[in-house]
Amino acid sequence: MRVLRYGETTIKAYSKSLEDLFIFCQGTPPAKITYNQVEAFLYKRYLDGVSWSTQNVYINSFNLWQKLAFKQKKRNYDKFRPRKTKTLPKPISKEQIKSGFSQIKNKKHLAICQLLYYCGLRRSEVINVKFTWFNADKTITIFGKGGKERSVPCDIISESLSAYVKEFQPKTYLFNGQKGEKYTASSIYSIVNKYFHCSPHQLRHSFATHLYLAKTDLITIKELLGHEKLETTQIYTKLDIDTKKEAVRVLAAS
């Protein structure tokens, strides 16, 4: 999977999915596991109430397993995919953004939150960003999903990033834990939730939504977010009622 440029998070999730399947099949050798056994496993997990996203991870991992291990391109489990309940992303308001940033005194916490909101990075991208990816023109070269490369401007946060680097002196990765290991996803979630009472992904959603409300064209937002398809970016045109109310309040205040 690393040769195919799958991310570490995906590798761990797929490995855990296969482990769950093997445990369910009670010692049946992997090469002997039948289509019906996989179907039974997926149905049980559905009855257990696992989320649609977890069910999709199971199916994606089993499809890849069949393809790589047994060269079974036609044998897949797509017919068991759940139907996703479409929900709009829930951005937080600009007032919440301002309030959250005003509370941050720790330079590392500030740098992490700024990369999520002012650069629109994914949490996994913040974890994996390397010190050498910062360029002289005040941009960051980001390698996103599938190794897709994009350049993200960071000039508006360059001063605080420089202050962080000067104090913490990172080596390879921009952010490290107390023992020098790579920063964890749970640590980043805790930091964001502490100041903004939301998830890291909501900060990224807010970045995109606020750009859209500021009349930024969707092509630019797509490139900044690192989306493969414009259709993915277009979800930000479907705003919830609270976001619409905020837009009207901004208009009234101008």
CB half-sphere exposure, 159, CA atoms < 13 A: 1
| 197 tagged catalytic | no
CB atoms within 10 A of CB 150: 17
Question: Which residue out of 122, 123, 210, 222 is catalytically annotated?
Answer: 122
Question: Which residue out of 67, 90, 130, 201 is catalytically annotated?
Answer: 201
Q: Provide CB contacts within 8 A for 62, sequence distance 6+.
A: 17, 18, 21, 38, 76, 77
| 173 tagged catalytic | no
Distance CA 204, CA 119 (A): 8
| 227 tagged catalytic | yes
Question: Which residue out of 14, 173, 212, 236 is catalytically annotated?
Answer: 236
| 81 tagged catalytic | no
Q: Shortest CA distance to 124 belongs to which of 31, 32, 200, 43?
A: 200
Q: Shortest CA distance to 130 belongs to which of 168, 166, 163, 176?
A: 176
Question: Which residue out of 145, 150, 189, 194 is catalytically annotated?
Answer: 145
Strand partners, 153: 139
Task: Give the relative orientation of helices 94-103 and 200-213 as an angle to the nearest 10 degrees.
Answer: 130
Question: Which residue out of 123, 204, 205, 210 is catalytically annotated?
Answer: 204
Active site (catalytic) residues: 122, 145, 201, 204, 227, 236
